[in-house]
Amino acid sequence: MRPLTRKRTKLSEGERARALAFLLVGVCSAGVGFIAVHHLDRAAMFDGLSFYQIWIIIASGLGGMIALFLSGDRMGQSGSLGVMRGVAGAIWVTFIGALIGGTLGLPLYGTMFGPFIVVVTLMGAPILAILWAFNLLGVHFLLAMYQRERDSIFTPARMNISDHPESLRMRLQGRFT
């Protein structure tokens, strides 16, 4: 069954890794949003969530995914410079995601208090901060798989195929003799 689903999606391994990275950030951001809603209204767990609280959770997930998209190439690079850029990208995704999620949830006040609520939530639950950090580490590795695949397309060995009909050697063959 698994090979059939791989053929239908027609996504490469790197593209699937990138999609999984976005899914992980979205789900985990929504989870942090749920915990933030729970910290702000403890009765929400037993009384049920209102439509506004559900929107806050959805906005948190959307904010995280948009922030990951806006992070560009900060995440997924290799080498020591890539590690530093990955840390900067993790901070970017955390705070810009909170800013976007807060803005979607409550346009003026949410923009100010979104990052503050995320910091308070992560400081109030250190295990959640550790899980969030490991989530972003996994996202970094997934995006590194995507980046390696994208870089392998443009290797010099593939770009200098001497037998290709459009290569300089084939076009000039026999003209200078």
Rg of the chain in Å (alpha carbons): 22
Q: What string of H, E and C letters represents the secondary structure of 92-136?
A: HHHHHHHHHHHHHHCCCHHHHHHHHHHHHHHHHCHHHHHHHHHHH
- pLDDT number for residue 97: 94
Domain ranges of the chain: 13-153
Look up tokens 């929107």; give the residue: 55
Query: What pLDDT does 27 receive?
Result: 96
Cα dihedral 61/67/73/78 (nearest 10): -50
Place of tokens 């997934």: 142
- Whether 25 and 64 have beta carbons less than 8 Å apart is answered as yes
Of residues 33 and 176, the one with the higher pLDDT is: 33
Which amino acid is residue 174, in one-letter code? G
Coil/strand/helix, residue 129: helix
Q: In whole angstroms, what is the distance from residue 98 CA to residue 118 CA? A: 7
pLDDT at 153 exceeding the cut of 60: yes
Contacts of 93 (CB under 8 A, 6+ apart): 25, 64, 67, 68, 71, 75, 136, 139
pLDDT of residue 14: 87
Question: What is the rounded average pLDDT of the residues 100-104?
Answer: 93
**More confident: 141 or 12:** 141
**What average pLDDT does the segment 24-30 reach?**
95
Alpha-carbon distance 120 to 164, whole Å?
Answer: 60
Confidence of residue 157 (pLDDT cuts 50, 70, 90): low
The DSSP code for 164 is S
For 118-124, what is the mean pLDDT? 89
Yes or no: say if 29 and 59 are a contact pair by the CB < 8 Å rule: no
Give the tens place of pLDDT for each residue, 55-93: 999 999 999 999 999 998 889 888 889 899 999 999 999
